[in-house]
Amino acid sequence: MADKQTVTFIITRQDGPDSAPYKETFNIPYKKNMNVISGLMEIRQNPVNANGEKTTPVQWDMNCLEEVCGACSMVINGTARQSCAALIDQLEQPIRLEPMSTFPVVRDLIVDRDRMFDALKQVKAWIPLDGTHDLGPGPRMPEKKRQWAYELSKCMTCGVCLEACPNVNDKSNFIGPAALSQARLFNAHPTGELNASERLNGLMEDGGIDGCGNAQNCVEVCPKGIPLTTSIAAMNRATNIQAFKNFFGSDHAH
């Protein structure tokens, strides 16, 4: 049914952060093993839309082209995913490309994912180092723990889980699944564990873990297969215990 000679894209474009979005259709020549990014590159080479009018090249974000950097997320045929891993042969045509609606649009398909980095700050998703001097070798980590922690470390802040989450939107302040899982990652680290309560208290701040409504779309759509819902449930338990410690406990630090 689809014409193998051409590929049709319907792209939701936006000239700037404050301008109105509009749709533009492009027909490009089919090539074997194309992905969405190579299709966009084709448009960039010859920015002529389906009506034969010359237009501006479509802007998008990309970096590694092997699904590890998280930059090229967009909504492809209604579902958020990495455009570098979206093969034309596996997509229904016309292929509809939209920017992720959870984030402010910079231009065309480029979105501003700053809120994800603010979320990482809220949950203190890093390991503080005390100075630049040599601290010696770090503490050892049980191999089994390392294995699941490694899975969590694959998060590339791509934003697909936020886009799929019904509770991450302009009406709510929920920071989204990615940062909740990162808090678990750094709390699992033997050195990071020293600041575990700070991250848990970050998860309990407004917009934190209580924003989760257990729709579990995040774990279904995560391109890296991160067990986000397991992380959320584990952090639910940890924050509950922390809340009791904060209220009843004698020592607020741990």
Partner 1 sequence: MAEHREFLTRRLHSFLGVVPIGIFLIQHLVVNHFAVYGEENFNQAADFMHNLPFRLLLEFVVIYLPILFHAILGVYIVFVARNNTKNYGFFRNWMFVLQRVTGVITFVYLIWHVWETRIAIGSHGADYSLMEGILSNPIMFWFYIIGLVSTVFHFANGLWSFCVTWGITQSPKSQKIVTYATVIVFLALSYVGIRTLITFAYGV
Residues that bind partner 1 (CB under 8 A): 78-79, 164, 166-167, 169, 171-172, 201, 204-210, 213-217, 220-221, 227, 229-230, 232-240, 243, 246-247
If the CB atoms of residues 153 and 246 are measured against partner 1, the closer one turns out to be 246
CB of 87 to partner 1, least distance (A): 19
CB of 191 to partner 1, least distance (A): 24
Q: How far is CA 176 from CA 25, 59, 127, 214, in A?
A: 32, 26, 21, 11
CB of 233 to partner 1, least distance (A): 4
If the CB atoms of residues 49 and 246 are measured against partner 1, the closer one turns out to be 246
If the CB atoms of residues 34 and 195 are measured against partner 1, the closer one turns out to be 195
> Structure tokens of 169?
């939107």
> Structure tokens of 22?
């509009």
CB of 241 to partner 1, least distance (A): 8
If the CB atoms of residues 172 and 191 are measured against partner 1, the closer one turns out to be 172
Question: To the nearest 5 percent, what fractions of the chain are helix, strand and coil?
Answer: 35, 15, 50
Report the b/e string of 224-239 with b at 16+ CB within 10 A.
Answer: bebbbbebbebbbebb
Cα–Cα distance measured from residue 69 to residue 224, given in angstroms and rounded to the nearest whole number: 11
Q: What is residue 56's DSSP assignment?
A: P
Cα–Cα distance measured from residue 56 to residue 47, given in angstroms and rounded to the nearest whole number: 6
CB of 131 to partner 1, least distance (A): 30
If the CB atoms of residues 34 and 218 are measured against partner 1, the closer one turns out to be 218
What are the residues whose beta carbons fall under 8 Å from the beta carbon of 154, sequence distance 6 or more?
224, 225, 226
Interstrand relation of 105-107 and 110-111 (parallel, antiparallel or unpaired): antiparallel
CB of 207 to partner 1, least distance (A): 8
Residue given tokens 């009018």 in the structure block: 53
If the CB atoms of residues 3 and 220 are measured against partner 1, the closer one turns out to be 220
